[in-house]
């Protein structure tokens, strides 16, 4: 098993720029503490001349790597030999043109598309990154892999471990909000599940201490290989759009791994001459976990070609920690106050001329219900993306000729409690600060009598 010799790790902070061999397992630059990228010496690698190069692999579905929605784009993330790349069939996702939903948010037919990453084997986009991180972990000979998780990273790690047997999974979850669909996955797939007394941010701090101590491979999105896998979400969007970039990519922001990897791949594609124009990225926070929105729109934090440093974010995080700030949103997948990829996300926002917004829990749940009413559905965090589209339409920043892609990050069945609460439970809604629940569709309760059942159906339309 081997790693590619034209690939290396590099500190994202230009003032440092230290490089490291791929055979080192790192989650930060040992010199300065900033995040790392996986970089490629493209001049010495076989780079496709056009993106339609990848269409030849559509007929190679019997090759597990070329069947994978991640590894069929191997030439753009060639850090390991293709036959060594781990796969469980991730990335068979779809882009749905959503015309009736478009009308709801003020876009004409044909201009709103939904990218369903919930169709991944474990039900969220995390499988894209896990395929890449665990490929590296297995080449490194890691016995254990761990993560802190709001739920989906742990579900993904647990599933990969169960299917491939490549590593044993250890997952850290907080004791507060974790969607039952996700927790049940970690338990059912047999992961060692450590539930700590704290929230995601606490679990993240602990797992970062534990991993080096015990020689455990860390698969959170501070792992630069994770983000290589997640680049392919954008490649599949382009594939579905016949390689024509849309105008906007709208994505919920939690730890900011997705937005970071989207910025990286668009920068790479432009530099390689594979696209002529870069879509704008809109990152949507939940109002109760809106550190990025605050730093970007109020504090004016910018990447500035790398004059920004992660340590500046750490200083701000320290202030937040002292004030005991905790995140709070019904969208548990993005209930994160200290996004680990902040610096990379700022870079992505610069590359893509991006914007950041935050939306309320009520907006998140209304738009989640709206998505399901007109399509395949998604979990709460994913609803933030459509809520963001509406906001940016109202502001006029998204114009009605713009083609918009919402990333639906997780499956509708991940968090049934929230969905049922929204539709049926007034008291629960009040607790969450939801006044209207515009799309609530409660069951009609009827006695077990034929005439009354018929009357109820007749009344319903």
Contacting positions for ligand PLP (CB under 6 A):
124, 126, 152, 221, 252-258, 333-334, 379, 381-382, 409-410
What does 154 interact with, of ligand PLP, Zn ion, none (CB < 5 to 8 A by kind)? none
Q: Which strands sit side by side in the sheet containing 19-20, from one edge to the other?
A: 19-20, 7-11, 36-40
* Residue 375 site contact among Zn ion, ligand PLP, none (CB < 5 to 8 Å, cut-off depends on kind): none
Q: Cα-flanking dihedrals φ and ψ of residue 199, to 5°?
A: -105, -170
* CB-nearer residue toward Zn ion: 31 or 311: 31
- 32 near Zn ion (CB under 5 A): yes
C-beta of 71 vs 200, nearer to ligand PLP: 200
Minimum distance from residue 64 beta carbon to Zn ion (Å): 36
List the single partner that 159 binds among Zn ion, ligand PLP, none, CB under 5 to 8 Å by kind: none
* Interacting residues of 410 by C-beta distance below 8 A, sequence separation 6+: 117, 118, 123, 124, 125, 152, 333, 378, 379, 381, 382
For Zn ion, the closer CB: 32 or 320: 32
CA dihedral 227, 96, 252, 104 (to 10 degrees): 170
Tokens representing 211 are 């991993």
Q: Please identify, using beta-carbon distances, which residue of 111 and 152 lies nearer to ligand PLP.
A: 152
Extract the tokens encoding 158: 């647990």
Q: How far is the CB of 379 from ligand PLP (least distance, A)?
A: 5
Partner in contact with 3, chosen from ligand PLP, Zn ion, none, beta carbon below 5 to 8 Å by kind: none
Cα Rg of the chain (Å, integer): 22
Q: Judged by CB, which is closer to Zn ion: 18, or 163?
A: 18
Closest CA to 87 of 44, 132, 53, 22: 132
Of 80, 410, 2, 270, nearest to 71 by C-alpha is 80
Name which of ligand PLP, Zn ion, none residue 291 binds, using a CB cut-off of 5 to 8 Å depending on partner kind.
none
Nearest distance from C-beta of residue 33 to Zn ion, angstroms: 7
The one of Zn ion, ligand PLP, none whose footprint includes residue 174, by CB under 5 to 8 A per kind, is none
**Nearest residue to 98 via CA among 84, 116, 111:** 111
Contact between 12 and Zn ion by CB under 5 A: the answer reads no
- What is the closest distance, in whole angstroms, from the C-beta atom of residue 233 to ligand PLP in the complex? 10
Residue 80: DSSP 8-state: B
152 binds, among ligand PLP, Zn ion, none (CB under 5 to 8 A by kind): ligand PLP
Q: Residue 257 Cβ, how far from ligand PLP at the closest point, in Å?
A: 3
253 binds, among ligand PLP, Zn ion, none (CB under 5 to 8 A by kind): ligand PLP
Distance CA 305, CA 346 (A): 10
> How far, CA to CA in Å, does 248 sit from each of 77, 262, 412, 455?
23, 12, 23, 47
Which tokens in the block code for residue 200?
């995601």
Cβ 127 to ligand PLP shortest distance, Å: 10
Residue 448 to residue 340: CA distance in whole angstroms: 54
Q: Which of 380, 383, 382 is nearest to 417 (CA)?
A: 380
- Which of ligand PLP, Zn ion, none binds 333 (CB below 5-8 Å, type-dependent)? ligand PLP
| Residue 256 binds: one of ligand PLP, Zn ion, none (C-beta under 5 to 8 A by kind) | ligand PLP
Q: Report the sign of the C-alpha dihedral through residues 48, 49, 50, 52, in that order.
A: negative
Q: Which residue has the tokens 């809520």?
A: 387
Q: Is residue 78 exposed (0-12), middle (13-18) or buried (19+ Cβ within 10 Å)?
A: buried
111 or 291: CB nearest ligand PLP: 291
The nearest distance, CB 339 to ligand PLP, in angstroms, is: 7
Query: 361 with 288: CB under 8 angstroms?
Result: yes
Which position among 10, 16, 196, 320 is part of the footprint of Zn ion (CB under 5 A)? 16
Strands 280-286 and 355-359: parallel
| Residue 31 near Zn ion by CB under 5 A | yes
Closest distance to Zn ion from the beta carbon of 42 (Å): 22
Between 250 and 345, name the residue whose CB sits nearer to Zn ion: 345
In sequence order, what are the beta bridge partners of 407?
115
Sign of the alpha-carbon torsion through 104, 107, 111, 117? negative
Applying CB under 5 A, does 29 fall inside the site for Zn ion?
Answer: yes
Tell the smallest beta-carbon distance from residue 385 to ligand PLP (Å): 9
11 binds Zn ion (CB under 5 A): yes
By C-beta, is 120 or 309 nearer to Zn ion?
Answer: 309
Stretch of residues binding Zn ion (CB under 5 A), selected from 11-19, 50-58, 137-145, 235-243: 11-19
Quick check: 102 and 108 in contact, CB under 8 A? yes
Nearest to 267 by CA among 254, 277, 257: 277
Among the candidate windows 14-22, 134-142, 160-168, 183-191, which touches Zn ion by CB under 5 A? 14-22
258 is in the binding site of which of Zn ion, ligand PLP, none (Cβ under 5 to 8 A by kind)?
ligand PLP
Binding site for Zn ion (CB under 5 A): 11, 16, 18, 29, 31-32, 34
């Amino acid at each position: 098993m081997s790693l590619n010799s034209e690939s290396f790790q590099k500190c994202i902070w230009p003032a440092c720029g230290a490089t490291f061999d791929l055979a080192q397992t790192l989650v930060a630059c040992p010199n300065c503490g900033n995040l790392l990228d996986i970089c490629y010496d493209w001049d010495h690698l076989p780079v496709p001349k056009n993106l339609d190069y990848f269409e030849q692999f559509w007929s190679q579905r019997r090759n597990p790597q070329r069947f994978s929605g991640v590894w069929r784009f191997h030439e753009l993330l060639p850090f390991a030999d293709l036959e060594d790349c781990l796969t469980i069939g991730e990335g068979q996702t779809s882009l749905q043109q959503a015309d009736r939903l478009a009308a709801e948010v003020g876009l004409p037919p044909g201009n709103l598309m939904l990218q369903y990453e919930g169709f991944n084997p474990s039900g969220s986009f995390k499988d894209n990154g896990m395929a890449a991180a665990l490929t590296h972990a297995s080449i490194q000979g890691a016995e254990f892999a761990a993560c802190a998780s709001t739920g989906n990273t742990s579900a993904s790690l647990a599933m990969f471990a169960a299917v491939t047997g490549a590593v044993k999974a250890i997952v850290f979850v907080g004791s507060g909000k974790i969607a039952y669909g996700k927790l049940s996955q970690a338990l059912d797939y047999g992961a060692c599940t450590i539930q700590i007394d704290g929230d995601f941010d606490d679990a993240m701090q602990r797992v970062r201490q534990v991993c080096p101590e015990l020689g455990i491979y860390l698969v959170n999105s501070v792992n630069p290989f994770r983000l290589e896998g997640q680049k392919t979400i954008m490649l599949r969007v382009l594939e579905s759009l016949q390689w024509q970039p849309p105008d906007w990519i709208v994505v919920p922001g939690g730890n900011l791994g997705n937005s970071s990897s989207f910025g990286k791949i668009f920068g790479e594609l432009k530099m390689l001459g594979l696209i002529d124009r870069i879509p704008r990225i809109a990152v949507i926070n939940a109002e109760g976990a809106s550190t990025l929105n605050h730093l970007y729109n109020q504090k004016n934090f910018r990447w500035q070609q790398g004059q920004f440093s992660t340590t500046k974010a750490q200083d701000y995080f320290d202030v937040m920690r002292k004030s005991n700030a905790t995140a709070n949103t019904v969208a548990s997948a993005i209930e994160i106050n200290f996004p680990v990829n902040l610096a990379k996300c700022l870079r992505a926002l610069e590359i893509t001329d991006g914007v950041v917004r935050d939306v309320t829990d009520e907006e998140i749940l209304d738009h989640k219900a709206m998505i399901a009413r007109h399509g395949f559905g998604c979990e709460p965090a994913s609803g933030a993306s459509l809520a963001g589209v509406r906001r940016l339409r109202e502001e006029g920043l998204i114009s009605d000729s713009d083609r918009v892609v919402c990333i639906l990050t997780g499956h509708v069945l991940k968090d049934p409690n929230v969905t049922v609460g929204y539709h049926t439970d007034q008291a629960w809604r009040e607790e969450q600060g939801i006044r209207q629940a515009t799309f609530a569709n409660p069951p009609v309760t009827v006695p077990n009598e034929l005439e009354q059942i018929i009357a109820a159906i007749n009344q319903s339309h």
